[in-house]
C-alpha cells in the first residue's frame, strides 16, 4: 500500500463572471472573512480555521472550478508526491516550488484524471484564528468537497492509487448502481467524495459549523434571506453529518454541515449503503425528498476548465 502523504483539505477555488456578487455572498451571507484581495481576486478564510483561506474567488469570463488544494506535512513529501505522479504519467502543471499565495509555502499543481487542477502544498504559514462562539453561525472550516465524474470508478481509482485516499463508504442504488464514493485522507470520514454525474463538475463544497444549534441558525439565516435551498436540513447516514444545501449566485451547491464522523482507521470497514432507503439520505426524515430537482442542482454546469490550468 502506498504511504499516505496528503494530510488534509486546504481550500477550493472558484472562477465566476460576476465577481462582486459572488464575493458578497460568501462574506456577508455565508460567513467567510476576506483576508487578502487584488483586482478580480479574493481570498476568504473561515474564522475557526488555521488555513490562510478556504475559498478563493477569481473573476473570469466563464464559471469554473479553478482547483482543489490539499496539504502535505513537509516539502519532502511534496517532492515525493510530485515525483510519483510524474513517474506514473500524470501531467504536472507546475513543478514543486515556492508559492506566492497568502501564507506562501511550497507546492505544485497537476491535472487529475478528469482534468481538474489539484494543488498540493506544505509549509504554508498558519493563520491566527479564533474560537467560534456559541450561537455564532459561521463556518469553522472547509469540511469536504464533492465532485461529479461520468467515469467515477476511474476517478476513485486515481485518488486511491496516486494520493492514497481511502474509501470510507459507498452509496448504491438498485437501478443506478453505485452513485457516490466517500474518500478520506485523515480520520475525517471524507474530505473528498466522487459522485456519478453526466459531466465533470463541482457537486458541492461543504463547510463545518460549530454545532447543531449554529448549523440550524445558519440554515435559517439563509432561508430568511431568500437564498435558494436545494436540500435539508437533515442528517446523512454515511458520515453521520448534518446537511443543508444552498445555491450560490453562480449555481454552485454549497453545504452547511456539522458533526462529520471521525473514524478509527485501524478498525473501520467501508459500508455499502442503499440510497433508495430514505433513512440513508436523511436519518431524521426532516429534509425535502431527494428528487430530480435536487439531483439536477448537484450536477451543476459542465466544468469549462478541464485540462486548462487557472492563470494564478
Q: How does strand 106-111 pair with strand 117-122?
A: antiparallel
Query: Which positions of the chain have pLDDT values less than 70?
Result: 1
Cα gap 16→247, rounded to integer Å: 14
Ranges in the chain annotated CATH 3.10.180.10 = 6-122, 141-299
Cα gap 106→120, rounded to integer Å: 8
HEC states along the chain? CCCCCEEEEEEEEEEECCHHHHHHHHHHHCCCEEEEEECCEEEEECCCCCCCCCEEEEECCCCEEEEEEEEECCHHHHHHHHHHHHHCCCCEEEEEEECCCCCCCEEEEEECCCCCEEEEEECCCCCCCCCCCCCCCCCCEEEEEEEEECCHHHHHHHHHHHHCCEEEEEEEECCCEEEEEEEECCCECCCEEEEECCCCEEEEEEEECCCHHHHHHHHHHHHHCCCCEEEEEEECCCCCCEEEEEECCCCCEEEEECCCCECCCCCCCCEEEECCCHHHHCCCCCCCCCCHHHHHHHHCCCCCCCCCCCCC
**Residues 264-287 pLDDT 10s:** 999 999 999 999 999 999 999 999
8, 191 contact by CB (below 8 A): yes
Give per-residue burial for 28-37: e unless 16+ CB within 10 Å, then b: ebbbbbeeee
Q: State the pLDDT at residue 290.
A: 87
Q: State the pLDDT at residue 245.
A: 98
CA dihedral 123, 124, 128, 132 (to 10 degrees): -110
Q: State the pLDDT at residue 69.
A: 98
Say if domain 141-299 classifies as CATH 3.90.870.10. Answer: no
Q: State the pLDDT at residue 55.
A: 98
Cα gap 168→70, rounded to integer Å: 18
Cell numbers given for 252: 454552485
Give per-residue burial for 223-240: e unless 16+ CB within 10 Å, then b: eeeebebbbbbbbbbbbe
Cα gap 259→261, rounded to integer Å: 6
CATH class of residue range 6-122: alpha beta
Q: State the pLDDT at residue 106.
A: 98
Q: Is the pTM of this model over 0.75?
A: yes
CA triplet 157, 159, 161: central angle to 5 degrees?
65
Q: State the pLDDT at residue 206.
A: 98
Percent of the chain at pLDDT > 70 equals 100
Amino acid at each position: 500500500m502506498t504511504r499516505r502523504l496528503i494530510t488534509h483539505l486546504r481550500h477550493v477555488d472558484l472562477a465566476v463572471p460576476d465577481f462582486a456578487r459572488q464575493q458578497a455572498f460568501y462574506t456577508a451571507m455565508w460567513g467567510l472573512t476576506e483576508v487578502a484581495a487584488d483586482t478580480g481576486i479574493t481570498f476568504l478564510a473561515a474564522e475557526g480555521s488555521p488555513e490562510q483561506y478556504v475559498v478563493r474567488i477569481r473573476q473570469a469570463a466563464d464559471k469554473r472550478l479553478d482547483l482543489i488544494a490539499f496539504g502535505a506535512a513537509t516539502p519532502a513529501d511534496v517532492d515525493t508526491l510530485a515525483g510519483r505522479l510524474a513517474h506514473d504519467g500524470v501531467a504536472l502543471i507546475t513543478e514543486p516550488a515556492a508559492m506566492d499565495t497568502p501564507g506562501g509555502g511550497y507546492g505544485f499543481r497537476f491535472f487529475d484524471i478528469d482534468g481538474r487542477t489539484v494543488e498540493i502544498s506544505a509549509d504554508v504559514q498558519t493563520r491566527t484564528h479564533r474560537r467560534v462562539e456559541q450561537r455564532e453561525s459561521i463556518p469553522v472550516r472547509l469540511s469536504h468537497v464533492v465532485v461529479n465524474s461520468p467515469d467515477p470508478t476511474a476517478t476513485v481509482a486515481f485518488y486511491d492509487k496516486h494520493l492514497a485516499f481511502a474509501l470510507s463508504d459507498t452509496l448504491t442504488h438498485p437501478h443506478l448502481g453505485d452513485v457516490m464514493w466517500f474518500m478520506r485522507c485523515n480520520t475525517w470520514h471524507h474530505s473528498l467524495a466522487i459522485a456519478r454525474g453526466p459531466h465533470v463538475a463541482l457537486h458541492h463544497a461543504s463547510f463545518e459549523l460549530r454545532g447543531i444549534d449554529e448549523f440550524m441558525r445558519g440554515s435559517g439565516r439563509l432561508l430568511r434571506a431568500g437564498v435558494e435551498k436545494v436540500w435539508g436540513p437533515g442528517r446523512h447516514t454515511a458520515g453521520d453529518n448534518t446537511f443543508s444545501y444552498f445555491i450560490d449566485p453562480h449555481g454552485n451547491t454549497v453545504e452547511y454541515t456539522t458533526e462529520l464522523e471521525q473514524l478509527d482507521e485501524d478498525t473501520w470497514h467501508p459500508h455499502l449503503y442503499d440510497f433508495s432507503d430514505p433513512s440513508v439520505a436523511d436519518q431524521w426524515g426532516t429534509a425535502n425528498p431527494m428528487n430530480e430537482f435536487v439531483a439536477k442542482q448537484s450536477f451543476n454546469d459542465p466544468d469549462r476548465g478541464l485540462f486548462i490550468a487557472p492563470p494564478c
